[in-house]
Amino acid sequence: MSHQRVVYMDNNATSQTAPEVVAAMLPFFGELYGNPSSMHNFGGKVAARVNQAREQVAALLGASPEEIIFTSCGTESDNTALTSALASQPDKRHILTTRVEHPAVLNTCQNLASQGYDVTFLKVDRLGNLDLTALAEAIREDTALVSVMWANNETGVIFPVEEIAEICAAKGVLFHTDAVQAVGKVPINLNRTAISMLALSGHKLHAPKGIGVLYVKKGTPFVPFLKGGHQEHGRRAGTENVPYIIGLGKAAELARKRLQDENSRVRGLRDRLEKGLLKAIDASMVNGDPDRRLPNTSSISFEYVEGESILLHLSDLGICASSGSACTSGSLEPSHVLRAMGVPFTAAHGSIRFSLSYYNSEADVDYVLAHLPGIIDKLRTISPFWAKYKQAACATPGYVEP
């Protein structure tokens, strides 16, 4: 299949590695192959560049360089945060988290629960928001950690993590946030928050796959996940993945510069796409609180059609998006996030997530707006539920044919 073009709107899944990042990494696959731990100048030069990358990441997060631990991915960072909180406070056996976390946290918590730890999964409302009073009340004497994502990967809904961190701090409980989707999209200044730990992933912000960070606030008790050598000040063993660390440093520098663009131009593209689709397509709705969302994410449901079918038609046109439908979630049920929010099945199965980035253009939005309404039309002609819906809708007083 030859595509006329590729319109990539699946940046919450992974993002294009920025050309500047690739260029920054290349020398470290070549002549600069030294080990940063070595006691010679050849390795020492590399160590200096690793430290520079650490400073770049710290600057993006508003943190101090010594609070940054490089890991292999966001999942490792989340696993480390959860297990460290339990290992460093052996008398505390309770974890408080939400039902809409990424599997990196959700499944790890379920695994901890099966090992005998006590885990509370907080619910969210129809818009995907948490009840902070309920959260505060769920914190117990033996709560080792509260873990709440900064922004949801499927809907883009932003949680008030700074406020949650304050609640936890007031009760003397550690707070971790999976900020994989938030970093580079919302302003973050960790020095001014009570957040104890934060996970980020490189490939969501135009660095390559295979590099992540765990931020650990000064003074937070910590037990390493990977044990071995003294790398990362003894907090994460294993020889540093130097080229990727350099790449992430560069990506962090770019993200810092582009944060304004993300929140103005990219947000504008997302809004135009969303409004255009809602207007052109009957029985469509946005999932997640429209007032508390990442600037790049839109989860839209098209009722009475199924997500995988939509994605394959889009894919034939070179448009890349994702879906929370059963057929695409790798299980037989629709996404746990949409179910937790109580999105009706009619809408959950037909949900499509568009996630934009710095690299999207007005032309990309035009292209999707030109093609998606036709795809939904075609699939609805095939769907046995659409005709029934139309009959019912037409019989409703006040219904106007769109």
Partner 1 sequence: MWEYTDKVKQYFSNPLNVGEIPDADGVGEVGSLACGDALKLTFKLDQDGRIADAKFQTFGCASAIASSSALTELIKGKTLEEAEKITNRDIAEFLGGLPKEKMHCSVMGEEALAAAIRNYRGLEPLPQAEGEVVCQCFGVTDKEIQKVAADNDLHTVEEITNYTKAGGGCGECHDKIQAILDQLWSVTPKVVPPKPAPAKKPLTNIQKMKLIEQTLEREVRPALKADGGDIELIDIDGDQVLVSLRGRCSSCQASAATLGQFVQSKLREFVSDELKVQEVKP
Contact status, residue 181 vs residue 294, Cβ threshold 8 Å: yes
- Residue 80 is a binding residue for partner 1 (CB under 8 A): no
In angstroms, what is the minimal distance from the CB of 77 to partner 1?
27
In angstroms, what is the minimal distance from the CB of 384 to partner 1?
4
CA distance 355 to 203: 14
Q: Is 188 or 379 the residue whose CB approaches partner 1 more closely?
A: 379
- Residue 353 is a binding residue for partner 1 (CB under 8 A): no
What residue type is 367 in one-letter code?
Y
Q: Residue 127, exposed/middle/buried by CB under 10 A (0-12, 13-18, 19+)? A: middle
- Residue 332 is a binding residue for partner 1 (CB under 8 A): yes
Contact status, residue 255 vs residue 184, Cβ threshold 8 Å: yes
- Residue 382 is a binding residue for partner 1 (CB under 8 A): yes
CA distance 97 to 105: 8
The pairing of beta strand 174-178 with beta strand 197-201: parallel
Q: Can you tell me which of 278, 285, 327, 393 binds partner 1, judged by CB under 8 A?
A: 327
Our answer to whether residue 327 is catalytic in this structure is yes
CA 391 to chain centre: 40
In angstroms, what is the minimal distance from the CB of 327 to partner 1?
4
- Residue 305 is a binding residue for partner 1 (CB under 8 A): yes
In angstroms, what is the minimal distance from the CB of 330 to partner 1?
9
Q: Residue 402, exposed/middle/buried by CB under 10 A (0-12, 13-18, 19+)? A: exposed
Q: Can you tell me which of 209, 280, 346, 390 binds partner 1, judged by CB under 8 A?
A: 346
Q: Is 54 or 349 the residue whose CB approaches partner 1 more closely?
A: 349
Q: Is 140 or 378 the residue whose CB approaches partner 1 more closely?
A: 378
| HEC secondary structure over 178-247 | ECCCCECCECCCHHHCCCCEEEEEHHHHCCCCCCEEEEECCCCCCCCCCCCCCHHHHCCCCCCCHHHHHH
- Residue 38 is a binding residue for partner 1 (CB under 8 A): no
- Residue 383 is a binding residue for partner 1 (CB under 8 A): yes
**Residue ranges that bind partner 1, judged by CB under 8 A:** 304-309, 312-313, 316, 325-328, 331-334, 345-346, 349, 381-385, 387
List active site positions: 327
